[in-house]
Amino acid sequence: MTTDYTPMWQELGLDLAGHEALLNVLGTAYTDIYLSQKNRPEGMGYFDFVMSEVHGLRIKELMDEKAAGRKIIGSYCVFVPEEIVLAANATLVGLCSGADFAMEKVEQLLPRNTCALIKSSFGFKIGKVCPYLESADMIVGENTCDGKKKAYETLGTLVDNLYVMDLPQTKTDQTRDLLKAEYMKFKTAVEELTGITVTAESLKSAIDVVNAKRAAIHRLSALRKADPAPISGLDALLANQVFFYDNPARFTESVNKICDELETRIQEKTGAFPAGAPRILVSGCPQAVPNWKLHMIVETAGAVIVGEESCVGERGTRNLTADTGTTVDEMMDAIVDRYFQVDCAIFTPNPQRLDHIQEMVTAYNAQGVIHYGLQFCQPYLMESIPVEKALEEKNIPCLRVETDYGMEDAGQLKTRVEAFIEQLR
Amino acid sequence: MTTDYTPMWQELGLDLAGHEALLNVLGTAYTDIYLSQKNRPEGMGYFDFVMSEVHGLRIKELMDEKAAGRKIIGSYCVFVPEEIVLAANATLVGLCSGADFAMEKVEQLLPRNTCALIKSSFGFKIGKVCPYLESADMIVGENTCDGKKKAYETLGTLVDNLYVMDLPQTKTDQTRDLLKAEYMKFKTAVEELTGITVTAESLKSAIDVVNAKRAAIHRLSALRKADPAPISGLDALLANQVFFYDNPARFTESVNKICDELETRIQEKTGAFPAGAPRILVSGCPQAVPNWKLHMIVETAGAVIVGEESCVGERGTRNLTADTGTTVDEMMDAIVDRYFQVDCAIFTPNPQRLDHIQEMVTAYNAQGVIHYGLQFCQPYLMESIPVEKALEEKNIPCLRVETDYGMEDAGQLKTRVEAFIEQLR
């Protein structure tokens, strides 16, 4: 970062020493993992810049928005509809949850046997090192898994602006009504926060903005079908991660620009990896910045990740919101219909997810699937067993990985991943 | 057992060798833990007999009922309304889930990090050692915690008669409607199974039968307030466990008979423990037969357990169903209202549970609370931390225990429990 953002961080109440330590670790990790990659698309320069300014310029932008009266809303989940937030002239940002921080204090509030993602979100709050969280005017929780659902009760004692959204566990007409009621309540809450009423016009425009962002990611994903893969899984994952942080219009433009470049690379048969490199689909729990561990291990072992069946990936972005509605209620229905299709493992039964994994294997010409489970994430760990069984019945090799944000198991993981890749060659 | 039930077990498809091994372990444990107790009420002879015949005479009764055309419905949770089952002339039984069995095979279907109760339910099925499960015409699952919710997807591949009930995660008017809709659907499913339509008369009668069973347990609980405690926690826990298995009318009569005896014991100041013995409330996860581990450790250390804030205890039995309705719909509403009050940790927020723990501490003159958490049971482990905090703020000592069905940690647990009891003296 070229600018000194210390006064801004101080104003946000960050723990400056802890925050600096975090940025140093993040910077070193980014250099080691990302900048060391060979044959990267030039367009990734944009994301290198974004990451170098992730707690700097982007926060400055949010602070400028706040100064101009716009509200910032933070979220931990793809079930929080960005359309509604944008339509009420607010900004949605994903909150920090991809690295361990202040774990000793976290484990005084949460059981040790809680997944790394949840513990991390607490660590960033307790350690005062997440400027997104500290700048948020409203933090949105949601009743997805037991871990998050119960953790929000405690998070509510740490922050004074937590809003919790209920979610259904099954997909029926009645539970769709529940989701609609929750989204209507959320719309009201956001309108109250911003003082701006969502109109048909603003909602239509917001749907277009979010759809454009998703369409750009769809375009990027489709280009990963080529062999040689024109972009690494690490770089594509980063784009999916930045999806949650960046200014939507700029993000869309930047991703489309990379896609233009990738199209040229495909024509020229320029790959991030050699043609014929083993192709792997990653499926399972979300990987938030800076959780690049699995992708790094897979790709330094010579295989390329060609897709993420994940909240930070196609599960989160795959469907567009229908833009055919003309009234707010019609558009709210379209939003509900779109999000109700998200095949998160919290739903029971959840056969759509298994179908989608198999569709992705075919679409991206993957030779194998690595199921990424965060330790203690019951919904995904539970689902990983029938997923593996179903894939193997179709002769699609599957490796189930259960890990956390620590590097203690990196050696063991590397050995297992390498053996799996050998099996695919 | 005096009768040879082998032909019946064979007919049910039990694994006879495995089942015999289980009964031997159970019998030895019961002798060591229960029959070795001093100063027991004579009325416990009934429960000694019930336990000695738990896979014998009781199953014979169920088989006789089946032969007479009555259906048997098995359940794993206090959210399954016995009133509806009885009103359709069926019998509800709790299913086996208190001991480890066939764990190696279970862990091929469920993640290792799954709570002992869920793994146990699979173990009894896979090992073919639960005659209740094998005799059931319908098995009812319910979307409580993530672990059970997702495990039922797999259990559905092991049994051919699984019915899963959805449950809400919050308590609002809309989620009460969801519970009502689920109970109406369940009523229809049970009616279809039995071919018997629930009438106002049969439902009224069923409500009375279940309320009488609860009232008997309430009476037993109230008598535990006395010092010296007229009955051990182990014996009272057993009555609460048998609540789920026994013929309702006989259970009610037997509990009331013990209560008559306990009233005499209280007048005579006869205790299961000396007056002044430290008094402990156990709060947390359910303890199914033969999970007597914590009670045994506490009571062999010289303290007496005076109440269970648990599904197998007051959380499960505390409220009666209002019997003022005259139509089926009015009574269904009363049933929904009754069960909607159950303060299971799956709900968010769940302040009623904390209130209830404190009420029980006062009512039973407990000097301390042991929070019993099954390892990997996220909802209760999550809640245990704020529960402990709230109790300690009121100067009520609290010990948080996290354990499973194994005996590997018994020594360590004993040391912690003894130190906790010392603190109460």
Q: What are the domain boundaries of chain A?
A: 6-194, 205-319+345-424
Span B373-386, pLDDT tens digits: 999 999 999 999 99
Task: Identify all chain A residues contacting B379, using CB atoms and an 8 Å cutoff.
Answer: 146, 150
Cβ-defined contact of B382 to A175 (cutoff 8 Å): no
Please state, for a pLDDT cut of 70, what percent of chain B lies above it.
100
B1 band by pLDDT with thresholds 50, 70 and 90: low
Task: Identify all chain A residues contacting B151, using CB atoms and an 8 Å cutoff.
Answer: 382
Is residue A54 within 8 Å of residue A168, measured between CB atoms?
no
A96 band by pLDDT with thresholds 50, 70 and 90: confident
Q: Which value, to the nearest 10 degrees, does the dihedral of the CA atoms of residues B187, B191, B194, B196 take?
A: 120
Which residues on chain A place their C-beta less than 8 Å from a C-beta of chain B? 108-111, 113-114, 143, 145-147, 149-154, 164, 166-167, 169-170, 172, 174-175, 177-178, 181, 345-346, 348-350, 375-376, 378-379, 381-386, 402
**Fold identical between B5-204 and B208-320+344-424?**
yes
> Considering the domain A205-319+345-424, what is its CATH architecture?
3-Layer(aba) Sandwich (3.40)
pLDDT confidence of residue A171 = 98
pLDDT confidence of residue A264 = 98
Which residues on chain B place their C-beta less than 8 Å from a C-beta of chain A? 108-111, 113-114, 143, 145-147, 149-154, 164, 166-167, 169-170, 172, 174-175, 177-178, 181, 345-346, 348-350, 375-376, 378-379, 381-386, 402
B387 band by pLDDT with thresholds 50, 70 and 90: very high
Please state, for a pLDDT cut of 70, what percent of chain A lies above it.
100
DSSP states along B124-176: HHHTT--HHHHH-SEEEEE--SHHHHHHHHHHHHH-S-EEEE---SS-SHHHH
Is residue A92 within 8 Å of residue A245, measured between CB atoms?
no
pLDDT of residue A122 exceeding 90, the answer is yes
Is residue B255 within 8 Å of residue B220, measured between CB atoms?
yes
Q: Is B397 exposed, middle or buried (0-12, 13-18, 19+ CB in 10 A)?
A: middle
- Single-letter residue type at B139: I
Task: Identify all chain A residues contacting B108, using CB atoms and an 8 Å cutoff.
Answer: 385
pLDDT confidence of residue A184 = 98
**Closest-CA residue of chain B to A176:** B178
**3-state SS class at A88:** coil
Average of per-residue pLDDT across A307-329: 97
Q: Give Dmax over CA atoms of chain A in angstroms.
A: 58
Q: Which CATH number applies to B208-320+344-424? A: 3.40.50.11900
**Closest-CA residue of chain B to A114:** B378
Give how far B389 is from chain A: nearest CA, Å. 10
Name which of B151, B170, B379 is nearest A166 (Cβ-Cβ). Answer: B170
Task: Identify all chain B residues contacting A109, using CB atoms and an 8 Å cutoff.
Answer: 385
- Taking alpha carbons only, the member of A45, A74, A72, A61 closest to residue A3 is A61
Domain B5-204 has CATH 3.90.1150.10: no
Average of per-residue pLDDT across A27-55: 97
**Residues B154, B139: Cα–Cα separation, whole Å:** 13
- Taking alpha carbons only, the member of A20, A85, A93, A87 closest to residue A62 is A93
Span A365-404, pLDDT tens digits: 999 999 999 999 999 999 999 999 999 999 999 999 999 9
Q: In what order do the strands lie in the sheet with B91-94?
A: B91-94, B72-75, B138-142, B162-165
Q: Which CATH number applies to A6-194? A: 3.40.50.11890
A1 band by pLDDT with thresholds 50, 70 and 90: low
Give how far A349 is from chain B: nearest CA, Å. 7
Q: Encoding tokens for residue B141?
A: 């699952």
pLDDT of residue A2 exceeding 80, the answer is no
Average of per-residue pLDDT across B226-253: 98
DSSP states along A350-408: -HHHHHHHHHHHHHTT-SEEEEEEETT-HHHHHHHHHHHHHHHHTT--EEEEEE-S-ST
pLDDT of residue B190 exceeding 70, the answer is yes
Span A66-94, pLDDT tens digits: 999 999 999 999 999 999 999 999 999 99
* Helix, strand and coil percent figures for chain A, each rounded to 5: 55, 10, 35
Name which of B146, B350, B375 is nearest A379 (Cβ-Cβ). Answer: B146
Q: Which residue has the tokens 């005659």?
A: B131
Average of per-residue pLDDT across B298-312: 98
CB atoms within 10 A of CB A85: 27
Cβ-defined contact of A152 to B382 (cutoff 8 Å): no
Among B169, B372, B389, most A C-beta atoms within 10 A, so best to mutate, is: B169
Task: Identify all chain B residues contacting A113, using CB atoms and an 8 Å cutoff.
Answer: 113, 375-376, 378, 381
Span A261-305, pLDDT tens digits: 999 999 999 999 999 999 999 999 999 999 999 999 999 999 999
Q: Is A159 exposed, middle or buried (0-12, 13-18, 19+ CB in 10 A)?
A: middle
